Amino acid sequence: MSDFSIDADWSELYVDGEWTPAESGETIDVEDPSTREVVAEVPSASGADVNAAYEAAAEAQTEWAEAPPAQRAAVVQQFLEALQAHSDEVVDLLAHEVGGSAIMGETSIQIASDHAGEAATLPRRMKGEHAESNIPGKENIVERGPKGVVTVISPWNFPLNLSARAVLPAIAAGNSVVLKPSTNSPITGGLLFAKLFEETDLPGGVLNVVTGRGSEIGDRVASHPESDVVSFTGSTSVGQHVAGLAGENLAVPAMELGGNNAFVVTEDADLDRAVDAATFGSFVHQGQVCISINRHVVHEDVYDEYVEKLTERAEELAVGSAHEGGTVVGPIIDESQRDEMLEYVEETVEAGATLETGGETADIDGVDDSLVVEPTVLSDVTNDMAAACNEHFGPIAPVIPFSDVDEAVEIANDTEYGLSGAVHSGDLSVAREIADRMETGNVHINDQPINDEAHVPFSGIGASGVGEYNSDAFLREITETKWISVQHEPREYPF
């Protein structure tokens, strides 16, 4: 049995470079969404465990910050090598823990690897500067150094890469980290990182992992006085609460929150190309992606043909257990998420939309109360219907018609969110006009909205968050500057 398999021992916390049981001795069950069986147990941390993690992080950080850039870069490169060496096992872990298909698992490895590669370059990019002075004979020096202790609260939907994009840059920049993964993904979002870093030269205490229920330790993690940055990915409502707690300690909040992403298709778009993108953008990982397509906004002249083509593609997708080869649409993470999205579909149909396909759960052999939701297409949708105005977070494609560019932009922007979006058009000037007018942090032309490249800044606006991720953007969040001036010549003072 591999140390990285779902059957391995995941029952201890990782604090100060050591595996240790939770103070209470209690554990939390990890359920496989495909089989509905308990496949692992993880520790249920207490407030005392959280305090121990932060004490270790604070103590280790000072020495780690003084480590040469080459040493910090080498550790992150070693992490990348460990991840690559265990990639097949990690893909299997994602299938067991979050119902990720092989496509989802391989994509997670690819994106996490990209973030590791980019993070390994950061230590040599932490450069200060000189600035001219208004005072004769004065030299101004601006130094850049790590913030201190970075808290990472990661989500369950893409736990590997969404943890990696915060943990790895933070460590590379000379910070220490306390990682609190989601209760639904405590292994791939948390404990896995500890095992991978054990194959590196990272000093003890620089990474600490505490697993537990958010209702029990979440507030303590978000508000801990040793925390200097709080990185959170999740819902807007929870993010607002976390940011408020972080703010009490003047910790920097870096929040990627909810989305309601529009996919705009103009009358002269290549429909086959658009539907290809739409199928991926709506149904990969069951639509459980903050930047997936939440609304298809399609010109009325091609609306019927688009709905027909999208419906055909949805019905062709392989649906079932994440452990079956070829599955594209697997299980939803849990009952509450499943029930909420199906309720949105029901409310949307009751409001006058047409259910083209899907709208039900799909049976899996030997499984009671399946969590698999059929790929669903809804036509005759308006922007105020439940599946369109809410972040449904499922394999659901509401299709909304528009008559001209102004209406398309109005529909796309008629939401509190501003995370991602996409435009398909045969005229790039029109596509660019729409993209420029969409009030969102990311827009992708002739593509779909699910994109993440570690060297390109990623952020949301409005209710989709504050702060930025990736490359120099996140480096600014996790470092701080110090102004040092040197008066080389005697200075004249007014008295």
256 is catalytic: yes
Give the DSSP per-residue string, 77-110.
HHHHHHHHHTHHHHHHHHHHHH---HHHHHHHHH
12 is catalytic: no
The CA radius of gyration of the chain, in Å to the nearest whole number, is 24
In one-letter notation, the amino acid at residue 51 is N
Going by their DSSP bridges, the two strands 417-418 and 396-402 should be labelled as unpaired
Segment holding 166, helix H or strand E: helix 159-172
Residues 6+ apart with CB under 8 A from 425: 264, 265, 266, 268, 269, 431, 434, 445, 446
User: Among all chains, which residue has been given the structure tokens 């509401």?
Assistant: 398
Please give the sequence-ordered ranges of beta strands (E in DSSP) within 409-448, or none if there are none: 417-418, 421-424, 444-445
Q: For residues 230 and 243, is the Cβ–Cβ distance under 8 A?
A: yes
Q: Considering the candidates 31, 290, 468, 477, report the single residue annotated as catalytic.
A: 290
Segment holding 178, helix H or strand E: strand 176-180
Distance from C-alpha of 459 to C-alpha of 474, rounded to nearest angstrom: 10
Strand partners, 230: 151, 253
Distance from C-alpha of 5 to C-alpha of 93, rounded to nearest angstrom: 7
Structure tokens at 353: 């939309």
Q: Considering the candidates 256, 356, 374, 468, report the single residue annotated as catalytic.
A: 256
Q: Which residues are designated catalytic? A: 256, 290
